[in-house]
Structures are given as C-alpha cells and as structure tokens.
C-alpha cells in the first residue's frame, strides 16, 4: 500500500523540495530548540518523514541526543544522510512507512512529525505507531497545516522566508492546490486521537496550522 498521498517525493521532486524549503531553516532551528528543551540530555528522538533532514540535523547539533529520521522516500533518506555528513553531525536516517515503523516498542523519548502528517494515507495507523514506539512518559508532536488556511497567511509565510518570484508563486500554488485539501481539521485530529492510547493531548492553533501535542504517561 502506498504510504503517501499526492506526488511521490522521489528523484527530481524530492531534490527540488529540499531546495525550496531551505529558506525555512530558522523554523527548523526553532523547532529543534523547542524539542531539546523538553527532553533529557541523552534522549532518543525520532523524526517521522524528515524529508531533507533539516530538523533532525539541527537537533543533533544541540546535544548528545540519539536522533533518527525515518522517511518513505529513498531519495530523501539519501539527501538527509548527505546533509548530516556535510553538517558533521551524527544522525541516522532510515527508510520506512509511518503506518508500519521498523522499530521495536517503547524506544523513543520524543517523536516529531512536521508538515507531513496530512499526506499519510493511513494517518490513524501513524498515530498508533507513534504511540507504540514511544517510551512511557514520552511525547509526540505533530505540526501541520490547517485546511482553512487563508491565501493571505500563505503570502505572509512566503514573505517571512524571503521566498519571492517563481519560488513564492509555486509554493502558494502547492499549498492551495494540494496541501490544503489534504489537511486535517481540529475535529478530525480529536477523533483520531480518541482511538489511540495517548493519555493526554493538547492542540494549539494559529492562522497557519496546528501543533498537536500527545503524551504517553
């Protein structure tokens, strides 16, 4: 079963995506800092669907964490491994499906998934897998787009990243034509979470999307 909705992120498409998201590097650094502040110094951290590996690599720069990235795209795994080598950090990247992760139970302290959850063909299974691979007292964080995000908000997102011209227009077209229609509403997230074993959760929202925090007590 195909694990990802929409255009397959392999080859040229994956390479272009890696270039197109480089202007968002400060967002990746900010997310890495947020996670690092919430885990112990030698925590095991999994990023689900890391793409080019930017968040995982920034995390690896911040401490003695054991950082793993898992992506369904072989091209992204190769790109992320190359980026980690160039950055001089230790981070492992593996091929795998979010709905059937190649990890044993209860091995990670923190699981993060940024800007990819909406594209999973089996999101409920992905949530169950996040719960399975988390240790007790572990945390999962999903950051993703809201389905009613306004075009003006996307314009502001592009301005913040200094994404202009063709690059900015292409990013806006991608959001409005593909990504927004795949995004889950807050009610849909609530419904999926109820069917998992997570003990507590909180959904924080802004004009762009959601931060879905999940805790396994």
Closest CA to 98 of 204, 198, 211, 1: 1
Summarised one tens digit per residue, pLDDT across range 59-103 is 999 999 999 999 999 999 999 999 999 999 999 999 999 999 999
pTM of the model: 0.89
Q: Please state the rounded mean pLDDT for residues 96-122.
A: 96
Predicted confidence at residue 109, as pLDDT, reads: 98
What class is the 11-216 domain?
A: alpha beta
pLDDT at 158 over 70: yes
pLDDT at 214 over 60: yes
Question: Cβ distance 190 to 123 under 8 Å?
Answer: no
Instruction: Report how many helices (DSSP H) and strands (DSSP E) the chain contains, helices first.
Output: 9, 7
- Joined together, the tokens standing for residue 109 give 């302290």
Predicted confidence at residue 208, as pLDDT, reads: 92
Predicted confidence at residue 157, as pLDDT, reads: 79
Q: SS3 for 69? A: strand
Summarised one tens digit per residue, pLDDT across range 166-197 is 766 767 667 766 778 899 999 999 999 999 99
Q: Please state the rounded mean pLDDT for residues 106-120.
A: 96
Question: Cβ distance 97 to 75 under 8 Å?
Answer: no
pLDDT at 6 over 60: no
Predicted confidence at residue 4, as pLDDT, reads: 55
- Joined together, the tokens standing for residue 216 give 């396994």
Task: For the chain, give the percent of residues with pLDDT over 90.
Answer: 74
Predicted confidence at residue 1, as pLDDT, reads: 40
pLDDT at 7 over 70: no
Predicted confidence at residue 8, as pLDDT, reads: 58
Alpha-carbon distance of 67 to 36, in angstroms, equals 11
């Amino acid at each position: 079963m195909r694990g990802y909705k929409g255009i397959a992120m392999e080859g040229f498409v994956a390479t272009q995506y890696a270039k197109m998201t480089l202007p968002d590097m400060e967002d990746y650094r900010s997310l890495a800092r947020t996670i690092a502040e919430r885990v112990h110094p030698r925590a095991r951290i999994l990023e689900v669907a890391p793409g080019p590996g930017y968040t995982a690599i920034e995390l690896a720069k911040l401490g003695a964490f054991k950082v793993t990235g898992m992506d369904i795209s072989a091209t992204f795994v190769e790109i992320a491994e190359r980026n980690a080598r160039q950055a001089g950090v230790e981070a492992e990247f593996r091929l795998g499906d979010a709905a059937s992760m190649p990890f044993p139970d209860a091995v990670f302290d923190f699981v993060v998934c940024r800007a990819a959850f909406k594209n999973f063909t089996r999101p409920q299974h992905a949530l169950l897998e996040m719960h399975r691979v988390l240790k007790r007292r572990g945390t999962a964080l999903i950051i993703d787009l809201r389905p009613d995000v306004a075009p003006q908000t996307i314009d502001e997102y592009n301005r913040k990243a200094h994404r202009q011209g063709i690059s900015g227009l292409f990013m806006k077209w991608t959001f409005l034509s593909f990504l927004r229609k795949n995004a889950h509403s807050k009610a849909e997230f609530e419904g999926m979470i109820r069917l998992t074993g997570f003990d507590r959760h909180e959904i924080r929202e802004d004009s762009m999307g959601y931060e879905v925090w999940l805790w396994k007590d």
